[in-house]
Chain A
Amino acid sequence: MFGYYTRLALGSFGRNPGLTALMVLAIALGIAVCIMTLTVFHAMSGNPIWWKNDRLYAVTMDNWDPNHPYRQSSKLPPPEMTYKDTQYLFSSNIPERKVVMYSTIGVISNAGSATPARVDTRVTTADFFSMFEVPFLYGNGWSATADNPAQPVIVLSRVQNDKLFGGANSVGRTLRWDDHEFRIVGVLDDWFPRPRYYDLNGGNFQEPDAAYIPYGWGSELQLLNQEENDCWKPEQVDNFKDYQASDCVWVQMWVELADASSRERFQSFMDGYWAGQRKAGRFQRPQNNRLTNVAQWLRDQQVVDTDNRVLVGLAFAFLALCLINTVGLLLAKFLNGAPITGVRRALGASRRQIFSQHLIEVGALSVLGALLGLALAALGLAAVHHMYAAAHLGHRGGYQELTHFDVVGVAWAVALAIAATLAAGLYPAWRIGRLSPAVYLKSQ
């Protein structure tokens, strides 16, 4: 009967093309707005490394002003830590992997490049690449022995490698970074986690850094964090060593812990260190040593803000409005066909069969609405992409990075369209089946 009902549905569309088009458009508009909003929301709220959510943890401790919290609105400690705290915690062998890092800016050039360029550079320990599962196009990262003393090795992003070497395999070649020669040991493949969970400074959807150098170069070259430096009290800082010894926060730390037992042990390690430092006069705020997984980290850092949530709500409200409109149109269409339905009832169709027939018609409408909605959403997202890309002057990083369909998004969109339209069509399909056929038979 499904095939028969589908044939009847298509015939019905042909009989009322204008009304059908109106209904499909109403559904499609509601779906398109929802898809656009949900696509952005999904990109914003997604966990790019969800499969490691129970292994990766951001490490934070609250060394802030005893009289004022770091954030008035929450009890969270600063997202970065002091250099000396991270140095101590990094000495632990409990984590399977551990990373301390921060972002700086350097001038990069190779012998053949026309113009040196200032590029974002991540000063990081070796485990960064394996911990965050960064893909490599050529070569690899460096080993832990290259961190300290710092070896002159560098990893480039694919974009940067394209700019400097035309995309060729540059492993083994050298370039100059801030007037120091570095040997290229690896080139990353396309990698753009959205959001950039491991470092939300500079924008949640900032593109990854152009270059990566061993953590030891931070001390060696006295490299400052160019994105985030926070200090809560005046301190005498005459040189870089003073800065490293201060209570200013500017270093990010992440650990990978194999299981719950490791997590507990590292937490105890942090707490023990905190207790000792508190006795020494530091950490005067209540104990707030945290190991935060990626999903919670994104929530804590409010990657998806209230405005976006409101926008999602409004989009669904608009969809509801479109569907209510569709219900009205469906009712009018089905009731207009009541005489024919009366004939079918006289010929043996039960209410259930009439309901099924009309629900299949609604289903066919929902598929058409979904397809058109997808097309409209793609157009809308492309328009948003161009608008924000233009505002970013063609650079990456920003709202335009969220305007991409993915397979999951498309599947959800189609499912939403069909489910929503079927829900809207339930009443009209039920209503037409309840009509008394005798009333319409004589008037047909």
Chain B
Amino acid sequence: MLRMQNISKIYRTDLIETYALRRFSLEVEAGEFVAVTGPSGSGKTTFLNVAGLLENFDSGSYQLDGTDVRDLSDDARSRLRGERIGFIFQSFNLIPDLNVYDNVDVPLRYRRLAASDRHERISSALELVGLASRIKHMPSQLSGGQQQRVAIARAIAGDPAFLLADEPTGNLDSLMSRQVMDLLEQINEMGTTILLVTHDPELARRAQRNVHLVDGQISDFRAYESHPAAADPAVGSVAALPT
């Protein structure tokens, strides 16, 4: 469902050009759980931003569910992002002035869904993450783990095709990290494709595949046989390593 071929993303200043991604290629099939690892500055976040249609790229091609995204208008990209992609951030990125219910409601508003439909989705999502009783709470009244679970509920309320998670446990302790990862696995088992950016190898092992980035390129690529989905040859396809 996600096909990137020879994507390059260059940041230019007057003096230098920096390749955040250099001829990067990756294919992710529906239902996969892929971890993207790499040292700081390797291009993980840039990859996530490009994948999530938050940034354009300078060369290459990117198809999302068969749609070539390169020449899409902002309206079309935003619509695709809202309908097909869910985001989970390291610092949760909840809107501080909105309560839990309204935070989860945000992406649904931009899709102009009916109020009843939104309510049903919000309730289901909060039920899934175990926070249905906290709908009136403000983010400041929640723990870090609870805030991240609200963020997950917000990401999945729209029933996206895939989730992009950027260091979702980066600000959490080990117990909460495990809870969040359990939740992500549960969501993946329900059919949602997950792209997880992390620097933690232990978390990466919980994914089916691990893509290791260095200097904007894939340097390593392995499937973890310990993950149940990895045993199924129908799951995932191995992208060729860039030469």
Q: Which residues of A contact B75 (CB under 8 A)?
A: 350-352
Any chain A CB within 8 A of the CB of B149? no
At the interface, yes or no: B70 with Cβ under 8 Å from chain A? no
Closest B residue to A5 by beta carbon equals B109
User: Is A343 engaged at the interface, CB distance under 8 Å to the other chain?
Assistant: yes
Residues in A with CB closer than 8 Å to B158 are 348
- Whether the Cβ atoms of A353 and B97 lie closer than 8 Å is no
Task: Chain B residues near A442: list those with CB within 8 A.
Answer: 45, 89-91
Which of A348, A352, A444 is most buried by chain B, counting CB atoms within 10 A of its CB?
A348
Q: For residue B198, give the distance in angstroms from its CB to the closest CB of chain A.
A: 15
Contacts of B106 in A (CB 8 A): 343-344, 347
A340 contact set on B, CB distance < 8 A: 95
In the complex, which residue of chain B has the Cβ closest to the Cβ of A437? Answer: B54
Residues of B within 8 Å of A11, CB to CB, are 97-98
Complex CA–CA separation, A441 to B46 (angstroms):
12
Say which residue of B52, B78, B98 sits within 8 Å of A350 (CB atoms).
Answer: B78
Q: Does A222 contact B (CB under 8 A)?
A: no
On chain B, the residues within 8 Å of A441 by CB distance are 54, 89, 93
In the bound complex, CA of A444 to CA of B147 (Å)? 14
In whole angstroms, how far apart are the Cα atoms of A345 and B45 in the complex? Answer: 16
B82 adjacent to A348 (CB under 8 Å): yes
Closest residue on chain A to residue B50 by CB atoms: A438
Mask of B85-107 contacts with A, CB within 8 angstroms, 1/0: 00101110101011000000011
Q: Does B79 reach chain A (CB closer than 8 Å)?
A: yes
Tell me if A353 and B54 are in contact (CB < 8 A): no
B interface, how many residues as a size bin? 20 to 34
* Known contacts A352-B74, A438-B54, A442-B45; is-contact A343 B110 (Cβ 8 Å): no
Q: Which of B45, B81, B109, B112 contacts A346 (CB 8 A)?
A: B81
Give every chain A residue within 8 A of B91 (Cβ-Cβ): 442, 444
Rounded to whole angstroms, the CA-CA distance of A353 and B110 in the bound complex is: 8
Contacts of B109 in A (CB 8 A): 1, 4
In the complex, A347 Cα to B97 Cα: how many Å? 16
Query: Does chain B have a CB within 8 A of A15?
Result: yes
Q: Residue on A with the closest CB to B53?
A: A346
Residue of B nearest to A343 (CB): B93
A436 lies within 8 A of chain B by Cβ: yes
Select the residue from A340, A344, A346, A437 with max chain B CB neighbours within 10 A: A346
Q: Chain A contact residues (Cβ within 8 angstroms of B): what range?
A: 20 to 34
Is A349 an interface residue when CB atoms closer than 8 A count as contact? Answer: yes
Q: Closest approach, in angstroms, between the C-beta of B122 and any C-beta of chain A?
A: 13
| Structural contact, A348 and B83, CB atoms closer than 8 A | yes
Instruction: Enumerate chain A residues within 8 angstroms of B97, measured Cβ to Cβ.
Output: 11, 14-15
B49 contacts the other chain (Cβ, under 8 Å)?
yes
Interchain CB contact (< 8 A) of B111 among A346, A348, A444: A348
Given A348-B79, A349-B110, A442-B45; A343-B95 close (CB under 8 Å): yes
Q: Which of A343, A347, A437 contacts B82 (CB 8 A)?
A: A347
Q: Mark A348-388, 1 if CB is under 8 A from B, else 0.
A: 11111100000000000000000000000000000000000
Interface string of B101-143 (1 = CB under 8 A from A): 0000011011110000000000000000000000000000000
Residue B55, interface by CB 8 Å: yes
Residues from chain B with a CB closer than 8 A to the CB of A347 are 82, 87, 106-107, 110, 154
Closest residue on chain A to residue B75 by CB atoms: A350
B73's closest neighbor in chain A, by CB? A350
Cβ-closest chain A residue relative to B111: A348
Closest CB of chain B to A417's CB: distance in Å?
Answer: 27
- Alpha-carbon separation in the docked complex, A169 to B106 (Å): 70
State A351–B53 Cα separation when bound (angstroms): 13
Interchain CA distance A1-B91 in the complex, whole Å: 28
Across the interface, B55 reaches (CB within 8 A) one of A4, A351, A436, namely A436
Contact residues in A for B82 (Cβ distance below 8 Å): 347-349
Whole-angstrom distance between the Cβ of A347 and the nearest chain B Cβ: 4
A346/B74 in contact, CB under 8 A:
no
- Bound complex: CA of A4 vs CA of B109, how far in Å? 8
Which B145-161 residues have C-beta < 8 A from chain A? 154, 158
User: Once bound together, how far apart are the Cα atoms of A353 and B74, in whole Å?
Assistant: 11
CB closest chain-A residue, reference B84:
A348
B46 to chain A, nearest CB (A): 8
For A352, list chain B residues within 8 Å (CB).
74-75
Of chain A, the residue at the smallest CB distance from B55 is A438
Q: Could you tell me the distance in whole angstroms from the C-beta of A358 to the nearest C-beta in chain B?
A: 15
Q: With CB as the reference atom, state the residue of chain B lying closest to A347.
A: B107
- Min CB gap B97→A, angstroms: 5
Q: Knowing A346-B54, A347-B87, A351-B74, say if A444 contacts B93 (CB, 8 Å).
A: yes
Cα of A340 to Cα of B102 in the assembled complex, Å = 14
Quick one: CB contact mask for A249-292 with B, threshold 8 Å, 1 for yes? 00000000000000000000000000000000000000000000
B81 touches A348 (CB 8 A): yes
Q: Supply 20 further A-B pairs (C-beta < 8 A) apart from A15-B97, A348-B82, A441-B89.
A: A4-B109, A340-B95, A345-B54, A345-B78, A346-B81, A346-B87, A347-B87, A347-B106, A348-B78, A348-B79, A348-B107, A350-B74, A352-B75, A353-B78, A353-B110, A437-B54, A438-B49, A438-B54, A441-B54, A442-B90
Hey, which bits of chain A sit against chain B, CB under 8 A? 1, 4, 11, 14-15, 340, 343-353, 436-438, 441-442, 444
Question: 14 pairs across A/B with beta carbons < 8 Å?
Answer: A1-B112, A11-B98, A15-B97, A343-B95, A344-B95, A347-B106, A347-B154, A348-B78, A348-B83, A350-B75, A352-B74, A353-B78, A437-B54, A444-B91
Pairs of residues from A and B, 6 with the lowest C-beta to C-beta distance, nearest first: A348-B82, A350-B78, A347-B107, A348-B110, A438-B49, A438-B54
